[in-house]
Amino acid sequence: MANTITLKRRIGSVKNTKQITKAMELVAASKMRKAQEFAAQGRVYRQAAYSLLTRLSAITEVNDHPLFVKRTVKTRLYVAISSNRGLAGAYNANIMRLLAKRTLEDQKDHVATKVIAVGKQIARFARRLEGVELVAAYDAYDDHPTANDMRPLLDTLTKLYSDKSVDEVVLLYTDFKSNILQVATDLSLLPARFEGEDSSIGQGLSSATFEPSIEAVLDNVTERLLEVQLWQTMLESIASEHSMRMLAMKNATDNATDLIDDLTLAFNTARQAAITQELAEITGGAEAMK
């Protein structure tokens, strides 16, 4: 009897957990669809900003601009993006793993490592890393951040780079590929030039005229284009978080269903065994009275 009571309680507990994970799955699915739309809309804009920054970096005059100056890397700053909450599968763990890997590479190259954490999960992790300076920690942004929300973080990054406190700024985020594939990756934000592009794309600007001046254009345009890069990484990360949380909660719900089936079978087996034992005792008692 005690065994059946325990099994019945466990079945009820698992059913309650299943209701919670199912609700979280539906909420994450709804948020994911909206976040996916926002991320998809910004990709074309980011690619245009990426291309324009590369074209601007081909102009001779940018060599003197503080955000385009390329220095020997002695101190590298990582902006690691995670979530405030867990229960999102491997979303946070992938960023933590990437940050730890890059930190080890920097230590081998004798490069000092600094981190700005976006999200409570990565902030807690960064505090425990040996030889890493946590410069600042921000809470994760809401589901639909605006470009203006990025300004405080971007101002901090550009100030640290302009003051030569850091020699390179790298974004660590999760790129949303599809509903079932999200990849933790990195993107170099500063200096504001991008490797791997065809150098010929800047040749068309060699004879261009800038009004009122090249310096004014660079000052006003560069930060806006960097803002787009940072904003898009946030959108990709948010879409990835909701997608991975939806899959994690779906797996949890499926596992709860399987566990309920197993516990129900065990409960029915135990109850049948108890009934059989009672019948055997009644039959044996009746035979003993004859």
Cα separation of 191 and 194, whole Å?
8
pLDDT at residue 289 in the model: 73
Per-residue pLDDT of 244-274, as tens digits, reads 999 999 999 999 999 999 999 988 888 888 7
Cα separation of 290 and 286, whole Å?
7
Nearest in space to 225 (alpha carbons), one of 68, 82, 114, 79? 68
Residue 237 has pLDDT above 80, yes or no: yes
Cα separation of 174 and 90, whole Å?
11
Q: What is the mean pLDDT of residues 276-284?
A: 76
**In contact, 270 and 3? CB cutoff 8 Å:** yes
Q: Can you give the pTM of this predicted structure?
A: 0.80
Across-strand partners of 76?
Answer: 113, 168
Per-residue pLDDT of 93-142, as tens digits, reads 999 999 999 999 999 999 999 999 999 999 999 999 888 999 999 988 88
**In contact, 176 and 37? CB cutoff 8 Å:** no
pLDDT at residue 288 in the model: 73
pLDDT band at 200 (very low <50, low <70, confident <90, very high): very low
Domains of the chain plus CATH, in order, are: 2-24+248-289 (1.10.287.80), 43-247 (3.40.1380.10)
Per-residue CA distances from 255 to 79, 90, 101, 229 (Å): 35, 17, 32, 39
pLDDT band at 275 (very low <50, low <70, confident <90, very high): confident
pLDDT at residue 96 in the model: 94
Per-residue CA distances from 221 to 55, 203, 213, 214 (Å): 12, 19, 12, 10
Nearest in space to 229 (alpha carbons), one of 45, 36, 41, 34? 45
Per-residue pLDDT of 32-91, as tens digits, reads 888 888 787 777 777 777 677 666 666 656 666 777 778 888 999 999 999 988 888 889
pLDDT at residue 114 in the model: 94
pLDDT at residue 199 in the model: 43
Residue 201 has pLDDT above 50, yes or no: no
pLDDT at residue 102 in the model: 93
- Please give the share of the chain, as a percent, with pLDDT higher than 90: 37
pLDDT band at 197 (very low <50, low <70, confident <90, very high): very low
Cα separation of 182 and 235, whole Å?
13
ω into residue 66 within 30 of 0, thus cis?
A: no
Retrieve residue 68's tokens: 């385009």
pLDDT at residue 44 in the model: 77
Q: Write down the residue that tokens 């790129």 correspond to.
A: 175
Query: Cβ of 55: how many Cβ atoms within 10 Å?
Result: 16
Nearest in space to 183 (alpha carbons), one of 243, 226, 124? 243
